[in-house]
Structure 1
Amino acid sequence: MNGRRPFSSVRARATVGATLVVAVALVAAGVAVLFALRSNLGGQADAEADTAARRVATQIAAGTPYANLELPDAEDHPVQVVNRDGQVLAVSEDLEEISGTGVPGVTPVPSPGTGRDDDDDTDDPDAGHVGDVTWHGGGRATVDGQAAAYRFTQLEVTDPRDETVVVHAGASLEEGRSTVTTAALVMLAGLPLLLGVVASVTWRVTRRALRPVEDIRREMAAITASTDLSRRVPEPASRDEVARLARTTNATLAALEASVERQRRFVADASHELRSPLASLRTQLEVAAAHPSLLDLPGAVADTVRLQNLTTDLLLLARLDAGEQPDTTRVDLTNLLTALVDRRTTDRIPVRAETEQETTVTGSRTQLARVIGNLLDNAQRHTRTWITATVRHEDDQVVLRVDDDGPGVPEDDRDRVFERFVRLDDARSRDDGGAGLGLAIARDIARRHGGDLTATRAPAGGARFELRLPRARDREK
């Protein structure tokens, strides 16, 4: 059993389920067919009994004496004629017992006849009248010692003496019951075979349908065991749900591989960035320990500050990667930009701010301040003579642009510049250029606020960084 419980696989459950459904459907259909067959045979028996009763009633209406009636064979169509008082006037020959007609008698009483001679004209206007069938029902009759089930018809007829009598005529149900029994036996005999065919076909079809799923499972197990995220599961050539599952699985593996690779690069780059100021700080401390007079205190402080800033950036990126969601408070970007510019009194190049009123968005004021600060810091490192920061409404968005007259960002690098630890000027010193995390952090924050951050060329030359965020009233809807 390999430790598996019965019906633990989709294949087994599908086979059992399909077989049970077909079994219920076949049984229900078989019962319906048998009932319909029995009803049709009963209707056919009623029709035969009606015919037999009318033949006898026609003779009575024509004035034929009851003793001279031509009655059908009792085994096929037993007939009983009674008056309104329940007296038996005529019965089929060899009829020994009858039930179901309401009159159990099978012995005719002496009858003077119908009031007509045998040679009277049957077209005489004084002839009797054959009425309608008034009742159908089941019963039994014994003929020559053999009892059988019959359907009986009750029909009223008026003879020429204006006396109303009742004709009971039957039709055998034995042949119909035999037919129903035979049909039931055939169905019962064929049911296991049909269910076997259904189970076999379902088992084979589900095995074929689920084979790609098993291939996907096997490959995923191998990937898990090997930790090789470059492998992919096989994709079936079909366009069904299994093929879509395979494609989605491969897309997930690709995203996971990219995420793991990005994490590895992040750890490697972070280690590299941390190693440099740590090595410099250690060297200064070792020199100071041996020669206190040679301690470069400003350099040690600068390295410590750089370590602190880098650690702060790494912690913020870790929180963003962990899915930290921004606040849902209302933030006026105009007031935020003005406040940040007013505090930057020691910047190399003053920032000119051009704003509109009530440029409100929803999010974290601290994180949005970090975005604007990073953009202004980036512009300060690259501009020559001026920096302009503007805030405007554009349709349903608030747009903040930071322009400078520096060398700009090459078109091929306008997306790569937002990657972590990326510095386009490789010859630039680390002390002047930072760790390459500012723009990456800014874009991550922008996208978590439902917006985006892009780099383009400023109209007057240099670089333009454009932050787009949804207006507050749109995010609140």
Structure 2
Amino acid sequence: MLRASPKLSEPVKALATSFNQMAESITETVKENQIFAQAVPHEMRTPQSRIQLATGLLRKSSTQPQQVALLDNIDTYIDDIDELTKQVLTFSKLNAAIGEDKSIGKQVIKLEAYLDERIAQLNQDNTKNVILYCHQQELECDPAYLRLMFDNLVKNAIRYAKSTVIICVEIKEDLDTSKTLIGKSSNWTAASKKVNQADTQLIITVADDGPGIAKEDFDAIFIPFSRLDKSRNLQTGGLGLGLAIAKAATKRMSGELNVSRNPDGGASFSCRIPSGYSLKSNS
């Protein structure tokens, strides 16, 4: 974090000192939060493993249907805790990664094949009709961040959709910037090339035909552990970290993640990734 120079004359020096104290306080708070968020999941692993061992031993001597049903419930709770632990750790790592070199781990990904494979993994039960519209395109980014963003958005859409999830991938240009550049340039080709390099965005939209999200909740849904249905059940409301992880992963790709309502109902999530991530079209 930036610091103000202490070699200033009064009264600016007093203001600089206050600014530096505030910056130090913020830095310490961020460090403490990161350490806490990463330590808690690891500390939870030990008692969780002990509970799993205990239930495994109890199963060997449990023959009554009520006992077996109780152990099944305990196993379900353990799975919930395990999933929550993984999500908290993932979220804390994404936030701790801010400030690192974003070029590390980048790969050129053929989007159509990659997203098709992810959809097949996420919709193995074929409970919903998931449709992908993706022209032959490539994206240079860290595949871990792309997977976290895409998987969490698609899982959320499948959970709430009535029957159909539609995923669109497209490339768009900033038309206002294009007009400005072309208007100021006597070389149409040079201006167009500059627009393509600097102002092109890859937009991944995941839309469902579910109940949708109220406009006043558009910001709240990205807050960790925020769930509109107040459910703690994985089968209904999830654990409340999926969309927060998706937004953090998008941020790591220098992108933006927003939500809106479909004209026909349901929610529509749009991830915009800037051209700094080397968009390529094979058309």
Report TM bin, short chain. 0.5 to 0.7
Measured against aligned partners, the alpha-carbon deviations of 1:446-474 in whole angstroms (never above 9, x if no partner) come to: 11111121222123221111111123337
CA distance in 1, matches of 2:88, 2:141: 21
Q: How does the TM-score come out when normalised to structure 2?
A: 0.67
- The structural deviation recorded for 1:252 is 5.1
Q: Are 1:319 and 2:93 an aligned pair? A: yes
| TM-aligned CA deviation for residue 292 of structure 1 | 3.7
Gaps of 5+ in 1: 1-13, 15-205, 211-237
Q: Which residue does the alignment assign to 1:392?
A: 170
SS of equivalent to 1:309: helix
Match of 1:250 among 13, 17, 22: 22
Pairing 1:347-426 to 2, within 5 Å after superposition: 347-358=126-137, 360-395=138-173, 396-426=200-230
Preserved CA contact (<8 Å) 2:169 2:204 = yes
The 1-side partners of 2:40 and 2:269 are apart by 25
- Is 1:291 matched with 2:62? yes
**Aligned letter for 1:351?**
V
Q: Which residue of 2 aligns with 1:467?
A: 271
Tell me the secondary structure at the aligned position of residue 426 of structure 1.
coil
Would you say the 8 A contact 2:258–2:269 is kept in 1? yes
Question: In the aligned structure 1, how far is the partner of 2:52 from the partner of 2:279?
Answer: 50
Q: Which deviations, in whole Å up to 9, do the C-alpha atoms of 1:262-296 show, x marking residues without a partner?
A: 876x589979x99xx89996895686476344324
User: SS at the partner of 1:433?
Assistant: coil
Deviation at 1:302, TM superposition (A): 3.9
What are the residue-to-residue correspondences of 1:4-153 with 2, within 5 Å? none
Structure number, greater radius of gyration: 1
Specify the code of the residue in structure 2 equivalent to 1:295.
V
Q: Distance in 2 between matches of 1:347 and 1:419?
A: 29
State the identity %. Answer: 23
Q: TM-score, normalised by structure 1?
A: 0.42
Give the drift of 1:248.
4.9
What SS is found at the alignment partner of 1:423?
Answer: coil
3-state secondary structure, aligned to 1:464: strand
CA distance in 2, matches of 1:455, 1:285: 43
Aligned positions, number: 238
Letter in 2 for 1:291: S
Match of 2:247 in 1: 443
Cα drift, residue 435 of structure 1? 1.6
Q: Distance in 2 between matches of 1:418 and 1:269?
A: 22
Q: Deviation at 1:371?
A: 1.6
The amino acid across from 1:315 in the alignment is: L
Three-state SS of the structure 1 residue aligned to 2:236 is helix
Change (3 A) 1:256 1:406: farther
Change (3 A) 1:253 1:443: same
Q: Structure 1's 349 and 431: CA in aligned 2 closer, same or farther, altered over 3 A?
A: closer
Cα distance in structure 1, aligned partners of 2:205 and 2:279: 21
Q: Structure 2: which 5+ residue stretches go unaligned?
A: 1-6, 174-199
Structure-2 change in CA distance of 1:278 and 1:412 (3 Å): farther
